[in-house]
Amino acid sequence: HDLKSLLERRLREVYRRQYTSSTVEFNDVFPSPKHNVDALSYIFQRTLMRPRDVIQFANECFVAALDTPRISWRSIYVAESSYSVKRLDSLKEEWHEIFPNLEVSVEILRGITSPFTRNVLSSDKLEAVASELAVSSEELSIDPCTVVARKMYEVGQSVDVSDFMYESLLCFYQVGIIGAKISTLDSFSWSYKDQPKLTRGEI
């Protein structure tokens, strides 16, 4: 309710400046539900219920629907793409002290459709990212994914690509890039609302 009120205040400000001084509500501007999903829920699911991110997504919708009085589903999809790029940049900044190499390790997920299982993560891609992390600068060596990646290439270490995969998925869950479905009977859990971290066994 609070997030919707925040979003409507933002809407009124934008539309007051561009179109009308009349009171504008969310349903006046955003499209009707599609495939039983309403636009408000669609946005909230992709912003982890964070006010800053809701506003950022809405701003991208306004840009995508520039010079039109209503926002279409197509505009929302276009906005989602640009929002996602900026959201990832924000996560990199937000978590830089703990995961300074997040920009590199997240490449493991590029091109994968959602939802996915860990089995779709190819060894080739995992090894390519691990090798890049292993040779990163010394100041980035505190990154947990980098620590495991370097051990993969050290003589006498019993660390392999599966260890690197587990460490990466633990990181992605913690920062909010992915959610996790522990079993078929469970719903997806997210670090921002369920539990902040997962164990290797849960991964």
Residues 6+ apart with CB under 8 A from 129: 104, 105, 107, 108, 149, 168
Residues 86-118 have pLDDT tens digits of 999 999 999 999 999 999 999 999 999 989 998
pLDDT digits (tens, 9 = 90+) for 151-182: 999 888 889 999 999 999 999 999 999 999 98
**Cα 7 from chain centroid (whole Å):** 20
Mean pLDDT over each residue of the chain, to the nearest integer: 90
Rounded distance, CA 3 to CA 18, Å? Answer: 23
pLDDT, one tens digit per residue, over 63-79 is 999 888 889 999 999 99
pTM of this structure: 0.82
In tens, the pLDDT along 15-66 reads 776 666 677 888 889 999 999 999 999 999 888 788 989 999 999 999 999 8
